[in-house]
Amino acid sequence: MAFLSLEGLSKHFGTHVAVDGLTLAVEKGEFVSLLGPSGCGKTTTLQMIAGFVEPSGGAIRLEGRDLLAVKPAKRGLGIVFQSYALFPHMTVAENVAFGLEMQGVAAAERTRRVGETLELVGLGTFAGRYPRQMSGGQQQRVALARALVIRPQILLLDEPLSNLDAKLREEMQIELRQIQRTVGTTTILVTHDQAEAMALSDRLVVMNHGRAEQIGPPHEAYERPATPFVASFLGRTNLVNGTTVRPEKIWFATSGLAGKVRTRIFQGNHWLYQIETADGLVTVIRQNTGEAMPGEGEAVHLAWAAT
């Protein structure tokens, strides 16, 4: 039996269907990402699990028990909101201690666990600060600490890294993954960033218009997309001779599909090509190995492995 299961979960806002019969089983300790374009119902799904949005239909079960019958305050979930939602009038330590206080944990034990969790997210020396005195990345880690310290059964993360710059986001992804591995908390992450979802998750739920188009490990979803939407959402694709081919799986050969280089862009570790062919524009990505590569305007032939 799955740890957390969503069974035909739906949400209608008037006539608009935000979530449409979503079924998903999450195992204990698993890291699952809800991935999809803006407005596809990711936040609504998460809010239904958290209890802040009431489903129009379907069921949510935690270890077989009906979670919808449990009040949001009693669900024991750790939530990191997109806006962090830190308590602005409390210090970092007070923010993190709040959940423990609600559980009636004794003061000494509270202090110990708050200190421990702040260490875990690398904010050991920031306990006395107010949220407004911290950077976005630090606030995000406070939000994570606040959710983790209550030892939640499930961690719900709603685009927690979207406000960070690229470098900090990458650091936080690694940190998040490490923390999740250390603590072993079942985690559901909402994101519209496919790279982030693939980097962090055990499994992806690729959503579109409130439905799950594909549920599976990142590698599988990337290599064997179930629908054209999944293929185009998870990275670039080409449609050549009626088959979809990933740009990095095409190479320059002495024979094959003839074409002419229209643009060539250098991106450090790889080259990005747009090739004009009889079949239309084809995108090609080649690893930068230091060798000379075809230039713009040159005639080339394209080949790829049959799938």
Ligand X SMILES: Nc1ncnc2c1ncn2[C@@H]1O[C@H](COP(=O)(O)OP(=O)(O)OP(=O)(O)O)[C@@H](O)[C@H]1O
Enumerate binding residues for ligand X (CB under 6 A).
13, 16, 18, 36, 38-44, 192
Q: Which two tokens stand for residue 78?
A: 């750790």
C-beta of 52 vs 266, nearer to ligand X? 52
From other proteins, Mg ion, ligand X, none, which one binds at residue 50 (CB under 5 to 8 Å depending on kind)?
A: other proteins
Least gap, CB of 307 to ligand X (angstroms): 31
Residue 271 touches which of Mg ion, other proteins, ligand X, none (Cβ within 5-8 Å per kind): none
Closest CA to 31 of 61, 64, 3, 72: 3
Query: Given phi > 0 = left and psi -120 to 50 = alpha, else beta, which region is 257?
Result: beta
Q: What would the two tokens of residue 76 be?
A: 């024991």
Select the residue interacting with Mg ion from 33, 43, 95, 214 (CB under 5 A). 43
Residue 99 or residue 225: which is nearer to other proteins going by CB? 99
Footprint of other proteins (CB under 8 A): 50, 52, 72-79, 81-83, 85-89, 98-99, 102-103, 130-132, 146-147, 150
CB nearer ligand X, residue 8 or residue 128? 8
175/164 Cα distance (integer angstroms): 14
**Residue 107 CB, nearest approach to ligand X (Å):** 38
- Specify the stretch interacting with Mg ion by CB under 5 A; choose among 41-49, 84-92, 96-104, 229-237: 41-49
CB of 190 to ligand X, least distance (A): 6
Closest CB to Mg ion among residues 43, 173: 43
The distance of closest approach from Cβ of residue 73 to ligand X in the complex, given in angstroms and rounded to an integer, is 21
Contact residues: Mg ion, CB under 5 A: 43
